[in-house]
Amino acid sequence: MGIKLLVRGPFACFSRPEMKVERMSYPALTPSAARGILEAILYKPQFRWKIRRIHVLNPIKFIGLRRNEVQGKISTSKVKQWMKRKGIPSPLFADAMGRDQGGEGIGRTQRNTVALKDVAYVIEADAWVRPEIKETPRKYYECFQRRVNRGQCFSQPVLGCREFVGYFESAPEHFETISDTRNLGLMLYDVFDLDKQSDGYAKPFITLFSPEMENGVIEVEDYVSVKKRHIAGGYDA
C-alpha cells in the first residue's frame, strides 16, 4: 500500500557532510531528509518510515547564497540551569561580535551555500512496524493521509536547512519526472541506526550508498543491505 507525498519549495540544501565549512547540496533529496519530512507530519515510536523511491519533478538547478551565521552556540550546561529555573536566559544575537560573559564565541560569520532552487519531489514510503507491536501499517497510512489532507504536522517540514520550508500535499495520481539519468555518487543514507531504538531515540550510525537516478526516479536501497555493507567494511563511515 504505502504512501506518496508531494513536497516542494523555493530552496533546498541537503548538505554534503564532507563540506565542513561551506555548505554544498546534493543534487537531490536524500533518504534521511525524506524520512525527516514524513516524521514531521507523523511520527510514532511504534514504526518507522522506509523510503522506497524519490521522484524528482523539477530540473536540478543550483544557486549560490551567502548568509550570516553564528559561530557559537548556547552551552548545554546553561540550558540545564534554565530548565531548573536557575538564572535568566540571555539572548544570542547573530550580529554580536566577540564573546559573551561566559567566554563563548558568538561572533557573526558569513558562509557560502550552494543550494538547490525550485525543487519538487514525490516521496514513496512504507511503514515498517516493529515486531513487538501487534498492529498493521494500514492504521498509520490512514492517519498520515488524514493529517496531510488537513495540513497538519508536528513541526514544519524543511528541505535540508531549517530556513528552507517544505510545502506538502498529497501526490497526484499522475505526475511527470525529469528526463535526467545520472549516477549521484556517494550519498548520505542516514545518520542514525534505524534498527536500534530505545525510548524512541535511535543511536548515531552514519551510512552511505551510491544511488542511480533514472529519468528522475531514485530507487532507494533497503536499509538492511546498506547497514550490512557498512559492517562488512564496504564504506569507511
178 pLDDT higher than 90: yes
Query: What's the gap between Cα 77 and its chain centre?
Result: 27
H-run or E-run covering 158: strand 158-159
- Residue recorded with cell 536499509: 223
Residues 112-138, mean pLDDT to the nearest whole number: 93
Partner residues linked to 212 by β-bridges: 183
What pLDDT shows up at residue 103?
42
pLDDT one-digit tens code per residue, 150-165? 999 999 999 999 899 9
Q: Between residues 121 and 133, which one has the greater pLDDT?
A: 121
What pLDDT shows up at residue 236?
47
219 pLDDT higher than 50: yes
148 pLDDT higher than 80: yes
* Pure H helices in 45-136: 76-83
Mean pLDDT of the chain: 87
What pLDDT shows up at residue 94?
62
Round to whole Å and give the CA distance between 233 and 237: 9
What predicted TM-score, i.e. pTM, was given to this entire model?
0.84
Q: Between residues 237 and 142, which one has the greater pLDDT?
A: 142
**CB of 212 within 8 A of CB of 183?**
yes
What pLDDT shows up at residue 97?
54
pLDDT one-digit tens code per residue, 184-199? 999 999 988 887 765 5
89: confidence class by pLDDT, cuts 50, 70, 90: low
Round to whole Å and give the CA distance between 137 and 83: 38
H-run or E-run covering 19: none
9 pLDDT higher than 90: yes
- Distance of CA 7 to CAs 63, 90, 119, Å? 19, 36, 8
**List of domains in the chain:** 3-65+114-231 (3.30.70.2660), 72-106 (no CATH)
